[in-house]
Amino acid sequence: MRVAAGQFVVTPEWCKNAQLCVELMRRAAEEGASLLVLPEALLARHDNDPDMSVNSAQPLTGGFLSALSAESRRNALTTVLTLHVPTTDGRAANTLVVLRGGEVIAQYRKLHLYDAFSVQESRRVDAGDRLPPLVEVDGMLVGLMTCYDLRFPEMALALALQGAEVLVLPTAWLRGPLKEHHWASLLAARALDTTCYIVAAGECGNKNIGQSRIIDPLGVTLAGAGSLPQLIFSDISKTCLQEVRAQLPVLRNRRFAPPQIM
């Protein structure tokens, strides 16, 4: 299966961001990808307005997702991204959606809100309360995660124990001391913890690092982006994953009870 991760600089204008997503979807489909992962919080962003993503929140029936759904109907691509969806007055849920055939086939509200490194996502965002469903893409089971979820190994492990073979991760990973090191280390660690492939897409710009990655079940980077807009591809294999799990059966060798998430 061919997979892709796309990164770009999210602008303050949702219409422009939707068009950038549509273009990445079109290019990924033309290159034969079955799965495309886009970054986190794609509606709107401004370096000097940390609340713009929440203030720009739209329902799943809004103009942003309608534009992406129209493109989704033109191909067989499965596309994963997150946007903010209104909840109560002045608040929103950071919502991952999976698009295929013009429809939202799965959704997930971010469980772990980024209340760290002097940022408090929970000030305006409501956390989810349950693990996401698995989604099948070309015969492989895909587990859904969002950004800060990466720092919680029990979530990735819970998805793998339910059958996930690929983990997808839309992100907006903030720059900062050692943050790039954390990003690379955590991606490799979660791949090794779970013996899953990981497809991670990062928003790029002045505040976020970009550095989208496709990682194999042994923690090796198959494809990687830098800090500029880019679309990366790699082929992944269920046969290869099964061979890794036969050689490194960490999911079978566990001696502790499965982690309880929500």
pLDDT digits (tens, 9 = 90+) for 108-139: 999 999 999 999 999 999 999 999 999 999 99
Model confidence pTM above 0.95: yes
| pLDDT score of 256 | 84
Q: How far is the C-alpha of 247 from the C-alpha of 251, rounded, in Å?
A: 11
Q: Are 132 and 112 in contact (CB under 8 A)?
A: no
Residue 6, domain member (yes or no): yes
Q: What percentage of residues in the chain have a pLDDT greater than 90?
A: 97
Give the residue-averaged pLDDT of 172-186: 97
Kind plus residue range of the DSSP H or E element containing 202? strand 197-202
For residue 223, give the nearest of 194, 241, 201, 196 by alpha carbon. Answer: 201
Residue 161 in domain: yes
Domain membership of residue 38 as a residue range = 2-248
Number of H helices, E strands in the chain: 7, 14
User: Does residue 261 lie in a domain region?
Assistant: no
Give the integer Cα–Cα distance in Å for 223 and 237.
15
What is the C-alpha to C-alpha distance for residues 126 and 119, in angstroms, rounded to an integer?
15
**For tokens 């909840």, what's the residue?**
87
The answer to whether residue 46 is domain-embedded is yes
Confidence at residue 155, expressed as pLDDT on a 0 to 100 scale: 96
Query: Is residue 253, in this structure, part of any structural domain at all?
Result: no
What is the domain count for the chain? 1
Whether 78 maps to a domain, the answer reads yes
Strand 140-144 versus strand 166-171 pairing type: parallel
Residue 258 has pLDDT above 80, yes or no: no
Task: Find the CATH number of the domain harbouring 187.
Answer: 3.60.110.10
Tracing tokens 């408090």 back to the chain, one arrives at 120
Active site residues: 40, 110, 147
Q: Report the chain's mean pLDDT, rounded to a whole number.
A: 97
Question: Do 111 and 123 meet the contact criterion of CB atoms below 8 Å apart?
Answer: no
Statement: residue 261 has pLDDT above 70 = no
pLDDT in tens, 242-251: 999 999 999 9
Per-residue pLDDT for 257 more than 90?
no
Residue whose C-alpha is closest to residue 24's, from 230, 218, 221: 230
